[in-house]
Amino acid sequence: MAKSKVLVVGGTGYIGKRIVKASLAQGHITYVLQRREMGLDIDKIQMLLSFKKQGARLIQGSFSDHQSLVDAVKQVDVVICTMSGVHFRSHNILLQLKLVDAIKEAGNIKRFIPSEFGTDPSRMGHALEPGRVTFDEKMRVRRAIEDAKIPFTYVTANCFAGYFAANLSQMETLLPPMDKVTIYGDGNVKVVYMDEDDIASYTIKTIDDPRTLNKTLNIRPPENILSQRELVEKWEKLLGKELQKISLSQEDFLASMKGLDFASQVGVGHFYHFFYEGCLTNFKIGEEGEEASELYPDVKYTRMDEYLKIYL
């Protein structure tokens, strides 16, 4: 069977650039949407040109021009959207509704993967304000996809290693602590840390796989299901010394939200659900989902001790 042609929307972003690379590596004809709104953003333009050198095809389109999106979608079989959903960068989740409209009109897409890649929003109806806005908006996009009867795969990839593992899950840095570390509660709640390149590899694997049609791909390989304390221990072993550990109670952590800006309040809410509540691992994957490492054992996913070595 011929491999599907892929359109990546948001291809210059944090996850998007990895999706483009993985799609090309796995032999798919890969298009990247070149949005007219880029203007003078030279870094994005140069990244697009680098994709072109690697074999990707650029296709122009704009979210302010419905027909341009329809025309772009008609060139491919699969659309993967990786637009940012985090408030401290750019938050564009609902812009996907225009893409859903274009896919519905085009009528040719056999798989759409919307921009999720984090927590399963269908399990976050109880989430704290204001952070719940992320999950509510993702669910609104899901409803639009399903109402339009567009074939889909939802990808939940849990904690990006670059944001959650390298810093030992500290909130105000992306680099690992060298002397002391804040521990959330007792530090024993299990979360899932994933190398972003592996997330991209697993995502591309799904697009021609009937087992993931109209299902959620949960990326939580067993050796990357770790507590914060277990992650810290891996870093201490690499570092050759023990860090001072400062335990932060649930009450004090939530109280820290007061007076923060909106984006920071969103972040605190999400950290609470991950590291105190355990929302990433406190459920079994049911019939509505599949686990990535079980479906694709050929993907040699990065373990976190290996991931952390580059930070020494």
Block residue for tokens 């959903």: 85
- For residues 86 and 267, give the distance between their C-alpha atoms in angstroms, rounded to a whole number: 9
In the structure encoding, which two tokens stand for residue 186, read together? 């007792």
Burial of 129: CB neighbours in 10 Å, binned 0-12, 13-18, 19+ = exposed
Amino acid at 137: E
- For residues 299 and 297, give the distance between their C-alpha atoms in angstroms, rounded to a whole number: 5
- For residues 31 and 14, give the distance between their C-alpha atoms in angstroms, rounded to a whole number: 17
The CA-CA-CA angle for residues 185, 187, 191, to 5°, reads 115
CA proximity to 57, closest of 42, 72, 67: 72
DSSP secondary structure letters along 175-215: S--SSEEEEETTS--EEEEE-HHHHHHHHHHHTT-GGGTTE
Block residue for tokens 């694709």: 296
**CA distances (Å), 296 to each of 11, 32, 112, 218, in order?**
24, 25, 20, 12
| Annotated catalytic residue, options 138, 205, 215, 234 | 138
How many Cβ atoms are within 10 Å of 234's Cβ, its own excluded?
Answer: 20
In the residue annotation, 138 being an active-site residue is answered as yes
Region of 185 on the Ramachandran plot (φ > 0 left; ψ -120 to 50 alpha; else beta): left
- For residues 303 and 159, give the distance between their C-alpha atoms in angstroms, rounded to a whole number: 13
Active site residues: 138
